[in-house]
Amino acid sequence: MKKIDFPMLLLACLVVLLFILVGLAIAFRSVWGIILCVILAFAVFGYGISKKKKRKG
């Protein structure tokens, strides 16, 4: 059984939380909240992907 990679797990949880916040911002009809959370979510997602690529390659 493999060990759990906690930093990557925390990054994944952060991305999920940011997308949940996008839904919440949509519910509150906050355009700035939607834009901010989407940008942050994709930035964290991209950071996680690049970190994973560097580790593998």
Tell me the per-residue pLDDT of 3-50, one tens digit each, with 9 for 90 and over: 999 999 999 999 999 999 999 999 999 999 999 999 999 999 999 999
Establish if 35 belongs to a structural domain: yes
* Rounded Cα distance, 40 and 37, in Å: 5
Separation in Å, CA 18 to CA 2, 24, 38, 40, 51: 27, 10, 7, 7, 19
Per the rule left: phi > 0, alpha: psi between -120 and 50, beta: everything else, 49 is alpha
* Rounded Cα distance, 24 and 56, in Å: 35
Establish if 48 belongs to a structural domain: yes
The reported pLDDT for the residue numbered 24 is 97
Establish if 1 belongs to a structural domain: no
Establish if 46 belongs to a structural domain: yes
- The parent domain of residue 22 ranges over 6-56
Q: How many CB atoms lie within 10 A of CB 37?
A: 21
Number of domains in the chain: 1
Establish if 25 belongs to a structural domain: yes
Establish if 17 belongs to a structural domain: yes
Establish if 12 belongs to a structural domain: yes
Establish if 29 belongs to a structural domain: yes
